[in-house]
Amino acid sequence: MHILHVVGARPNFIKAAPLLRALGAPAGARHALFRQTLVHTGQHYDAAMSDVFFQQLEVPPPDFNLGVGSGSHAQQTAGVMLALEPVLLEQKPDLVLVYGDVNSTVAAALVCSKLGIRLGHVEAGLRSRDRSMPEEINRLVTDQLSDLLFTPSADGDENLLREGIDPAKIHRVGNVMIDTLVRLLPLTDAHLSAQLSTPYALVTLHRPSNVDDIPWLRELLATLADLSSQLQVVFPVHPRTRQRLDGFGPEPGLGSRLRLLAPLPYLEFLALQRYAAIVITDSGGIQEESTFLGVPCLTVRENTERPITISHGTNQLVGRDLQRLRAAALEVIKGNSILQKREEASHHRVPLWDGHAAERIAEIILRGAA
């Protein structure tokens, strides 16, 4: 059975790594049955956001790199479709696996649907109920076109059933991103910066609602700078965010109170996240990772497609309310927050977020191939 994986952005690499390993593992007939091809669309083309992840995650070099690069959502999606179609026609895979909710994911889903190639969606069923988010459109379309839907949690199953998806297509397997975290967490100590003072806050921001609104971004940075008087604030800056910052420059004195870093490889970032006193983010994956790690997380969004990180984890939505962000952060710093503390997290982990999701996916695919 020939399985072709399509990845295009940092979270895809983290999710694909354990599945590439599980499908290639010499476990009974599994190893002999599967031939794998890896296609990198080039949606993220910065070496710090792409190439180094393959190295740290021990993923083999891609068999194909489509080199699509940046552009508008329409340009990027169309670029992936145009470049991927001849690869699929040449390779003739039995199953294409796509990951998450990026433009590469929906582009591959559309091409597979037109060519009649079976499609599996890893991390299916997540919904924010906010169609102003391009990722929400990508999720909805990909799930409607998929033949196998691998969900990370019960809410994903419920969303898909509500949308009329055949229950036979839905498989709750857990979270493959947590598989990677569990495997590589023991390596993080060697990658922790000796220059950091503790405690510290870890910040990531990349969504258009936060970084494309320049007045809001200025105010948000000022709030982070204000928090840095209470504890060090470490901010690895996504390339999209860096472009916005370069456009207006930081406020006078901001750099001395708020550490702006280049994008970090996976292990370095995971080390920072593991020992952070608090995480402030707009990333979906980081909401999940912080929940598993037991680190309080404040999400600068009005909604989340991962509500289980609130009900079972350490995540709290603060929206676009800087007073709420400041107050919630100070509560965590003072130790008065209602968020679960790190030592309590092991008793509240999400079911099936145990490091074995990829193995469950591999067994489901194996049963279908037998």
Alpha helices in the chain (DSSP H): 10-24, 30-33, 51-56, 73-91, 103-115, 134-145, 154-162, 176-184, 208-211, 214-227, 239-248, 254-257, 266-275, 284-293, 308-311, 322-334, 357-369
Cα distances from 94 to residues 33, 34, 69, in angstroms, run 12, 10, 27
The neighbouring-strand residues paired with 150 are 122, 171
The answer to whether the beta carbons of residues 2 and 37 sit under 8 Å apart is yes
Q: Return the amino acid letter for 97.
A: L
The answer to whether the beta carbons of residues 6 and 98 sit under 8 Å apart is yes
The neighbouring-strand residues paired with 122 are 99, 150
Q: Which residues contact 156 (CB under 8 A, 6 or more apart)?
A: 124, 125, 126, 172
- In angstroms, rounded to a whole number, what is the distance separating the alpha carbons of residues 299 and 200? 17
The answer to whether the beta carbons of residues 21 and 15 sit under 8 Å apart is no
Active site positions, annotated: 206
- In angstroms, rounded to a whole number, what is the distance separating the alpha carbons of residues 241 and 205? 7
- In angstroms, rounded to a whole number, what is the distance separating the alpha carbons of residues 179 and 198? 28
Q: Which residues contact 370 (CB under 8 A, 6 or more apart)?
A: 29, 33
The answer to whether the beta carbons of residues 9 and 104 sit under 8 Å apart is yes
Cα distances from 262 to residues 8, 186, 238, 268, 280, in angstroms, run 20, 24, 8, 11, 17
The label of the residue with tokens 């091809």 reads 37
- In angstroms, rounded to a whole number, what is the distance separating the alpha carbons of residues 315 and 290? 8
